[in-house]
Amino acid sequence: MITPSEQPRPEQDGATSAAAALLEARFCSKSYAAEDKRPTGTQPTLVLDSIQLQIHEGEFVALLGPSGSGKSTLLRILAGLLTPSSGQVLFKGVPQHGPNPHVAIVFQSFALFPWLTVLQNVELGLEAQPLTPTQRLKRALSAIDMIGLDGFEDAYPKELSGGMRQRVGFARALVVEPELLFMDEPFSALDVLTAANLRKELLGLWREQSMPTRAILLVTHNIDEAVSMADRILVMGANPGHIRVELPGLPLAQRTIQSQEHTKLVDLIYRIMTSPQEDIARLLPTHTPEAKTGPLTPAAPHPYQVLPHVSIGDVTGLIELVHARGGREDLYQIGRHLQLELDDLLPLVEATDILDLADTEEGDLVLTEEGRRFAEAGVLEEKQIFRQQALAHVSILRKIVQALQATPRHLLPEEHFLQLLETHFGEEEAQAQLETAINWGRYAELFTFQEDRGMFQLEEEGAPAPQA
């Protein structure tokens, strides 16, 4: 059962919503301009759509979402490192401009300077503060001590394990005694045991109030991690990034992996994340009055189709697995069976959805009629079904085939389609979208693509005319 979180810190007394939030985002949107040399018709890409959120004193908030949903962008906006295209960020009720000195960030990549020692890296966190060298040294040593790096002051990052390096990352953030600690997937580059250990120690410091930090924001794509650590969980969706639902975390006693409530909440969030198109209200158990949904940030309808970057071989494997299990299977079981992290499974599920080979229903992946035929077909027929689905449902493939059919020699340079894609995507993503389209199109034998010349050509026998 989902209940409001126990208040882990004394400041948090349930009356927080009346007071100004420590940090607040009001209708923050972010678009990235297509920064390239072809200004004609290029439109900015919307990556965050009207985000509203509050972080209160004493709270540990998790921002959970698939990769590409704009978590890092939002974190940077909240920290004042990026300016929103519209909307504002308020710190203690005051609109912010520029980097917020009360926020410190721990990054996934550690972001250490290899030519500086542990001590020097940590002292760097204090660069902006008016301290004497002695005060700086004292503060740095105390942070090093607190985070368990005692004895490693003079070591260089390359001499340290990943876990120890991330400790330096934490020490450098905590040394500034920030009111807000932000973490962007801080554990995801570490092996499982090291990550578990560091999580536990961080929670210890937080709960014992060994650090002066007043609130924590954790960005993650790991559901277990969010459920084990957070008082409140914001689940994001992609294209454009928006907050789909806000869920209360579990009471402290239920946050251990073994509790039934933990498993239930992980399962619920898994269902939510694997059903990106589903109305949240339909996924929530009826007794979840604390969950806030929908109106938080209504997502604009997808302005264009975004292809997930997966190979068709993997899509085929997924379809065959579901077929072998009777045409319907729980996504959580699929993930376990294929040993795929949710972040790797989601793009595959999305591909089967786009191609109309499968649908998600209540946390299950269910084959469509075409999906079943696809799974039962031999190699030749499989390609044929794929081609038919691709032409019917993948707009960039349809456009490529139509454009090739319309040219005399059925030949076009990739530039032609890159320009088209760059009206919706930034330069890099446009390139990635085209590469995925090439992979899928080749598999479907819709066209050939000559890497060296960068030329598309219609397949010899000519692809079937796409339906208008």
Ligand X SMILES: Nc1ncnc2c1ncn2[C@@H]1O[C@H](COP(=O)(O)OP(=O)(O)O)[C@@H](O)[C@H]1O
Residues that bind ligand X (CB under 6 A): 32, 47, 65, 67-73, 426, 429
Q: How far is the CB of 281 from ligand X (least distance, A)?
A: 24
**Of Mg ion, ligand X, none, which one sits near residue 84, judging by CB under 5 to 8 A according to partner kind?**
none
Angle between helices 369-376 and 312-324 (to 10 degrees): 100
203-229: burial string, b at 16+ Cβ within 10 Å, e else? bebbeeeebebbbbbbbbbbbbbbbbb
Residue among 219 and 272 whose Cβ is closer to Mg ion: 219
For residue 258, the 8-state DSSP code is T
The amino acid present at 9, given as its one-letter code, is R
Alpha-carbon Rg for the chain, nearest whole angstrom, is 25
Minimum CB distance to ligand X, residue 297 (Å): 15
Alpha helices in 125-214 (DSSP H): 133-146, 162-174, 192-207
Q: With respect to ligand X, which residue has the nearer C-beta, 157 or 276?
A: 276
Q: Does 72 bind Mg ion (CB under 5 A)?
A: yes
Q: Which residues, 6+ apart, have CB-to-CB distance to 144 below 8 Å?
A: 118, 119, 122, 150, 152, 153, 171
State the minimum distance, in angstroms, from the CB of residue 71 to Mg ion.
5
Instruction: Find the shortest distance in angstroms from Cβ 28 to Mg ion.
Output: 16
Pick the closer one to ligand X by CB: 2 or 51.
51
Q: Please report whether residue 220 would count as binding Mg ion according to CB under 5 A.
A: no
166 binds Mg ion, rule: CB under 5 A: no
Q: Work out whether 293 is an interface residue with Mg ion (CB under 5 A).
A: no
Residue pair 306/343 in contact by the 8 Å Cβ criterion: no
Residue 367 and residue 319 in contact, taking contact as beta carbons nearer than 8 Å = yes
Q: Is the peptide bond before 240 cis (omega within 30 degrees of 0)?
A: yes
With contacts defined by CB under 5 A, name the span among 70-78, 135-143, 229-237, 450-458 that binds Mg ion: 70-78
Strands lying side by side in the sheet with 23-32: 45-55, 23-32, 86-91, 94-95
How many residues sit in the footprint of Mg ion (CB under 5 A)?
2
Nearer to ligand X, 224 or 359 (CB): 224
**Minimum separation from the CB atom of position 256 to ligand X (A):** 27
Residue 69 within binding range of Mg ion, rule CB under 5 A: no
User: Closest separation between CB of residue 223 and Mg ion, Å?
Assistant: 16
Q: Point out which residues bind Mg ion (CB under 5 A).
A: 71-72
